[in-house]
Amino acid sequence: MILQLISRLLIRYLELPSSSNLSVPTSPFEYLKQTLQVGDVLLVEGKQKFSSAIKYLTQSNWSHAALYLGNGELIEADLKLGVIKVNINKYQSYHTRICRPVNLKKQDLDLMIEYVQKRQGLTYDLKNIFDLAKYLFPVPIVPNKWKRKVLEFGSHDSTKVICSSVIAQAFQSIRYPVLPLESCVDGKKKLFIRHHSLFTPSDFDRSPYFQIIKPTITVGFNYQEIDLNHKNRMELDYE
């Protein structure tokens, strides 16, 4: 009871707006909706305090990840509600990035979507909430070599999830690599599955197995149709 009360208070604090500067969307939202395909991972630059902690520790813009199911629906792990479906409109004003798995067979894609939808209802890992909070009271200076260790969030309980782990599990269920560990065995380089709890949103961006999709280019970009001012912004400011 006491633990649940503390966790609710922490969630309330972590969901407060962040005072950090945020990037603006780089593509029209309609382009994003037109471009998304089933199985795409949507990375999000969040606007809450817990987003600031994740961005600091991962040294990236991305604090959240969701999986696109089609028909305007995403599935994600929410701090308060656990694994839920949400409408893409939730992220209309957010800076986002599309990471797309390559050459995924339809049969495997269907199996992955079925797997992740069965994860609905799982709760967010409370230990992860405490781990995030301790890096905000106040946010410490963490040496680069320790950042990955710091990000080993959570209890490793299979019934508890965080946003990137539930998506990593979905891809691992069909043996699609995200960011596997490399090791030398008998003089040969081999890849090993990384534990799902060790994944962060930025790993999908860094992965060599996901294509970064730019909605503006995908929808149709022609540089000759853009009316650029011949003077740069600095010159205009001085006039």
DSSP codes joined into one string, 72-131: TEEEEEETTTEEEEEEGGGGTTS-EEEEEESS--HHHHHHHHHHHHTTTTPEE-HHHHHH
Question: How far, in Å, CA of 11 to CA of 6, rounded?
Answer: 9
CATH number at residue 59: 3.90.1720.10
Has residue 8 got a pLDDT over 80? no
C-alpha distances (whole Å) from 239 to each of 6, 122, 227, 229, 230 are 56, 58, 20, 14, 14
The percentage of residues in the chain with a pLDDT greater than 90, rounded to a whole number, is 43
Maximum mean pLDDT: which of 123-132, 196-205, 229-238: 196-205
**What pLDDT, on the 0 to 100 scale, is given for residue 239?**
47
pTM for the predicted model, two decimal places: 0.78
Residues 6+ apart with CB under 8 A from 157: 125
For residue 155, the enclosing domain spans: 2-238
Q: Which of the two residues, 113 and 17, has the higher pLDDT score?
A: 113
Has residue 137 got a pLDDT over 80? no
Number of domains present in the structure of the chain: 1
Question: How far, in Å, CA of 15 to CA of 67, rounded?
Answer: 21
Has residue 90 got a pLDDT over 80? yes
